Structure 1
Amino acid sequence: MTAISGKLAFVTGGASGVGLGQAKALLRRGARVVIADIMQDRLDAVCAEFEAAGTPVVAVRLDLTDLDAYRGVVDAVEAEYGPIQLLFNTAGVSQFGPLQAATMDDWRWQIDVNLYGTIHALQVFLPRMLERGDDNHIIVTASMSAFLSLPGCGIYTATKMAQRGLTESLAWDLEGTNIHVSLLCPGAVNTNIHQSLRARPAHLKDTGFYTGTEEDEARLKAVIEHGMEPERLAGYVMEAVEANRFYILPYPEFRAPLEDLQAEVMGALARPEDDPEYEMRISKGVPGGSDKQ
Structure 2
Amino acid sequence: MKDFNGKVAFITGGASGAGFGQAQVFGRAGCRIVIADIRQDALDDATSRLRAEGIEVHSVRLDISDRAAYAAAADEVEAVFGGPPQLLFNTAGVNSFGPLENATYEDFDWIFGVNLNGVINGIQTFLPRMIASGRDGHIVTTSSMGGFAGSATAAIYNATKAALINLMESYAITLPKYGIGASVLCPASIRSNIADAQDTRPAHLAANSGFRSDEAFIELQRRLYSGGMDPVELAGHVKRAIENNDLYILPYPETKEAVRAHFEKILDAFAARDSDPEGAQQRAQAFEEYRAEAAKTAGSTK
In the alignment, what sits opposite 1:162? 163
In the alignment, what sits opposite 2:135? 134
In the alignment, what sits opposite 2:244? 243
In the alignment, what sits opposite 1:62? 62
The CA distance in 1 between the partners of 2:246 and 2:290, in whole Å, is 24
TM-score, normalised via structure 2 length: 0.91
AA aligned to 1:207 is: S
| SS of residue matched to 2:183 | strand
In the alignment, what sits opposite 1:104? 105
AA aligned to 1:58 is: H
In structure 2, relative to structure 1, the CA distance for the partners of 1:71 and 1:263 (3 Å cut) is same
The CA distance in 2 between the partners of 1:43 and 1:113, in whole Å, is 18
Q: Does 1:173 align with 2:164?
A: no
In structure 2, relative to structure 1, the CA distance for the partners of 1:139 and 1:283 (3 Å cut) is closer
The answer to whether the 8 A contact 1:34-1:58 is kept is yes
Q: Which has the higher helix share?
A: 2
Structure 1 unaligned regions, length at least 5 = none
AA aligned to 2:161 is: K
AA aligned to 1:262 is: F
In structure 2, relative to structure 1, the CA distance for the partners of 1:101 and 1:81 (3 Å cut) is same
| SS of residue matched to 2:140 | strand
In structure 2, relative to structure 1, the CA distance for the partners of 1:164 and 1:287 (3 Å cut) is farther
Deviation of the 1:266 alpha carbon? 1.1
| SS of residue matched to 1:203 | helix
Deviation of the 1:52 alpha carbon? 2.9
In structure 2, relative to structure 1, the CA distance for the partners of 1:190 and 1:287 (3 Å cut) is farther
In the alignment, what sits opposite 1:262? 263
Deviations 1:139-188 (A, max 9, x none): 00000011122320110011100111111111112232221101100011
The answer to whether the 8 A contact 1:2-1:136 is kept is no
**Count of aligned pairs:** 288
The CA distance in 2 between the partners of 1:287 and 1:158, in whole Å, is 31
In the alignment, what sits opposite 2:203? 202
TM-score, normalised via structure 1 length: 0.94
| SS of residue matched to 2:177 | coil
Deviation of the 1:53 alpha carbon? 3.0
| SS of residue matched to 1:222 | helix
Matches within 5 A, 1:66-85: 66-83=66-83, 84-85=85-86
Deviations 1:61-92 (A, max 9, x none): 01111111101111111122122110001000
The CA distance in 2 between the partners of 1:106 and 1:155, in whole Å, is 8
Deviation of the 1:254 alpha carbon? 1.0
The answer to whether the 8 A contact 1:47-1:56 is kept is no
Q: Cα RMSD between the aligned structures? A: 1.7
In structure 2, relative to structure 1, the CA distance for the partners of 1:156 and 1:288 (3 Å cut) is farther
Structure 2 unaligned regions, length at least 5 = 292-302
The answer to whether the 8 A contact 1:2-1:137 is kept is no
In structure 2, relative to structure 1, the CA distance for the partners of 1:194 and 1:287 (3 Å cut) is farther
The answer to whether the 8 A contact 2:28-2:55 is kept is no
The CA distance in 1 between the partners of 2:118 and 2:228, in whole Å, is 25
The CA distance in 2 between the partners of 1:275 and 1:226, in whole Å, is 52
In the alignment, what sits opposite 2:300? none
The answer to whether the 8 A contact 1:14-1:35 is kept is yes
| SS of residue matched to 1:284 | helix
Deviation of the 1:288 alpha carbon? 9.5
Percent identity over the alignment is 44
Q: Does 1:5 align with 2:5?
A: yes
The answer to whether the 8 A contact 1:272-1:278 is kept is no
The CA distance in 2 between the partners of 1:90 and 1:73, in whole Å, is 16
| SS of residue matched to 2:178 | coil
The CA distance in 1 between the partners of 2:120 and 2:231, in whole Å, is 24
In the alignment, what sits opposite 1:123? 124
The CA distance in 1 between the partners of 2:131 and 2:56, in whole Å, is 29
Q: Which stretch shifts more, 89-98 or 273-282?
A: 273-282
| SS of residue matched to 1:176 | helix
